[in-house]
């Protein structure tokens, strides 16, 4: 969700390039801007949905947004092994907890490796 300043800037300086499958809008500046390295290129940005973080950008748009691709990849270029985006679940009840973690009872399976714990002399 863009604030008022971003909406005004987008209205006067931006050109809508496209939308992703989830409805996020991607823009490019109408004029060239000089980067820190001295080259000139169009500034690019995305308008997120309320409450989203930057990890919500799908791979089809990520390369374009970061000036790695000249055009966004078509949705049809998505590979069958690519999974849809999911928000980071760390800190929520849906977070991954491997077997043996404290939330899973704190008991892990015994190991058959050659690991020996070190104990201080004393």
pLDDT for 14? 95
Mean pLDDT score of the chain, rounded to an integer? 85
Query: Alpha helix (H) ranges present in 37-110?
Result: 59-65
Give the burial class of 61: count Cβ atoms within 10 A of its Cβ; 0-12 exposed, 13-18 middle, 19 or more buried: buried
Alpha carbon distances (Å) from 51 to 1, 7, 47, 56, 104: 8, 17, 11, 10, 30
pLDDT for 1? 57
Cα torsion 58, 63, 65, 69: sign: negative
pLDDT for 108? 67
Higher pLDDT, 82 or 32: 32
- For residue 50, how far is the Cα from the chain centroid? 15
Rounded Cα distance, 1 and 48, in Å:
5
Q: What angle do CA 87, 22, 68 make, to 5 degrees?
A: 80
pLDDT for 98? 82
Q: What is the pTM of this model?
A: 0.69
pLDDT for 112? 67
**Domain edges within the chain:** 4-77
* Helix, strand counts (H, E) of the chain: 2, 3
pLDDT for 117? 81
Given a contact cutoff of 8 angstroms between Cβ atoms, the answer to whether 47 and 25 are in contact is: yes
pLDDT for 12? 94
pLDDT in tens, 65-122: 999 988 988 878 888 888 877 878 888 888 888 877 777 677 766 766 767 788 998 6
């Amino acid at each position: 969700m863009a604030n008022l300043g971003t909406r005004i800037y987008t209205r006067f300086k931006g050109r809508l390039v496209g939308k992703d499958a989830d409805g996020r809008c991607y823009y490019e500046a109408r004029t060239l801007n000089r980067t820190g390295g001295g080259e000139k290129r169009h500034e690019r940005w995305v308008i997120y949905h309320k409450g989203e973080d930057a990890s919500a950008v799908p791979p089809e748009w990520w390369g374009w947004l970061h000036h790695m691709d000249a055009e966004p990849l078509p949705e049809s270029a998505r590979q069958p092994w690519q999974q849809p985006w999911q928000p980071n679940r760390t800190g929520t009840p849906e977070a991954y907890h491997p077997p043996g973690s404290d939330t899973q009872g704190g008991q892990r399976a015994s190991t058959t490796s050659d690991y020996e714990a070190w104990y201080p002399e004393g």
